[in-house]
Amino acid sequence: MKEAFREHNPNKKTKERLDHILSIIAEYETQDIKLTERQLFYQLVSRNVVKNTLKSYKSVCSIITNGRYSGRIDWDAIEDRVRIPYRHSQFDGVEDLVESAIYAYRLDRWKGQEYYVELYTEKNALTSILRPLTDKYHIYLNVNVGYTSATAMYDASKRFLEATEDNKECILLYLGDHDPSGLDMVRDVRTRLNEFCEHKAVEVIPIALTYKQVKKHNLPPNFVKETDSRAGDYSKLYGSESWEVDALRPEILQELITDAIEKYRNVDLVEKVLEQEEDDKLKLEKYAKRLANASKK
DNA sequence: CGGTCTGGGCTCACGGTTTG
DNA sequence: CAAACCGTGAGCCCAGACCG
């Protein structure tokens, strides 16, 4: 909802940027995707509206914030994925609980499959685009927020080792930027995971952003920071330009991920699990009805 | 020579004050 | 009013300087 709490009179340049922001929000709204400020900023960068610098990021943030306070931008269009309030779940009675249990009910949709797959990304800004897919395919989504942590890698290694014991081949699909640190994060994940898994192979596959994708989609470049200690080797291979994975349009990103996951999934096996899930849900529904009738008596 | 510190890099989302 | 600074909180990695 658009709600105004303050006055704000943007100048011509700011108004132009505000219009760009509003059209991006409208575009994402049709796909039911909420944006973070960071994500909106990257979209502006990829459309060559602003430069990819800390300064312009901050400027975009104030335009968004001012826009929201002044009632120009819908408060619900922007999401803060860091400051989330927690509270234990509650229900409107036992029937309500059973209903949500039916909704939540799932079996292991990767049972009997040849592969075990997880999806990793360095950017929290991609969460709203990735979640629907990892939910649908019933796989773990790990958002590393830059470099991953020892905790995350240790926990992941336990899951992969368990899959190995189940005679599954382990696949880690990775999404990150094409910049000196971004490419290094793939190496980092690979070596640390192998250390924990005692070199039982986990295949780390970068599905985006690749140099090929940069060229194919003609993505706008950023300058590599020469002060980055990892810039040297990168520049020898790719020159002085780098690219953000967020610059890929959401539908292209989703297509890439869908293709990557489906490569490792046997559809017939999944169908069987889904049938079992539906059967179980029917049983649960019958149980819920009996429960409801009993409580009326 | 090996350990630790320093200052750079990445991610995320805010705030305030001064300068133009 | 916007831009350019400064700061807060959190999680990381790495190269080179420094030191015992």
CA atoms of A271 and A179, how far apart (whole Å): 40
| Section A268-291 average pLDDT | 91
SS3 state at A115: strand
User: Cα angle vertex A177, ends A126, A44, to 5°?
Assistant: 65
Give the domain ranges of chain A: 12-69, 113-265
Residue A179 carries which DSSP code?
Answer: S
Closest CA to A4 of A77, A75, A92, A58: A75
What is the distance in angstroms measured between the alpha-carbon CA of A55 and the sugar C1' of C7? Answer: 15
CA atoms of A4 and A296, how far apart (whole Å): 48
Q: For A15-57, what is each residue's pLDDT tens digit?
A: 888 888 888 888 888 877 788 888 888 888 877 787 777 777 8
SS3 state at A259: helix
Nucleotide nearest to A180 (CA to C1'): B9
Cα-to-chain-centroid distance, residue A12: 34
* Choice between A66 and A170, residue whose per-residue pLDDT is larger: A170
Confidence at A182, pLDDT banded by 50, 70, 90 = confident
What is the distance in angstroms measured between the alpha-carbon CA of A225 and the sugar C1' of C8? Answer: 25
CA atoms of A176 and A243, how far apart (whole Å): 10
Whether any strand B atom is under 7 angstroms from the Cβ of A11: the reply reads no
CA atoms of A25 and A21, how far apart (whole Å): 6
What is the distance in angstroms measured between the alpha-carbon CA of A8 and the sugar C1' of C1? Answer: 9
Protein-covered nucleotides of chain B (CB closer than 7 Å) are 7-16
Nucleotide nearest to A54 (CA to C1'): C4
Q: Quickly count: other Cβ atoms within 10 Å of residue A160's Cβ.
A: 22
Q: With residue A48 as reference, give the H or E element that holds it.
A: none
Confidence at A199, pLDDT banded by 50, 70, 90 = low
Q: For A209-255, what is each residue's pLDDT tens digit?
A: 888 998 898 888 777 776 677 777 787 788 888 888 888 888 888 99
Residue A77 carries which DSSP code?
Answer: G
Whether any strand B atom is under 7 angstroms from the Cβ of A211: the reply reads no
**What torsion, rounded to 10 degrees, do the Cα atoms A10, A11, A13, A14 define?**
-10
Nucleotide nearest to A192 (CA to C1'): C13
What is the residue-averaged pLDDT of chain A?
85
What is the distance in angstroms measured between the alpha-carbon CA of A140 and the sugar C1' of C11? Answer: 20
A125 and A39 in contact (C-beta within 8 Å)?
Answer: yes
CA atoms of A261 and A242, how far apart (whole Å): 26
A142 bridge partner residues: A120
Name the protein residue, with chain letter, whose CA is nearest the C1' of C14: A229
- CA A273, A278, A281, A282 dihedral sign is negative
A194 bridge partner residues: none
User: Which CATH number among 3.30.300.30, 1.10.150.120, 3.30.930.10, 3.40.1360.10 corresponds to the domain A113-265?
Assistant: 3.40.1360.10
Name the protein residue, with chain letter, whose CA is nearest the C1' of C12: A147
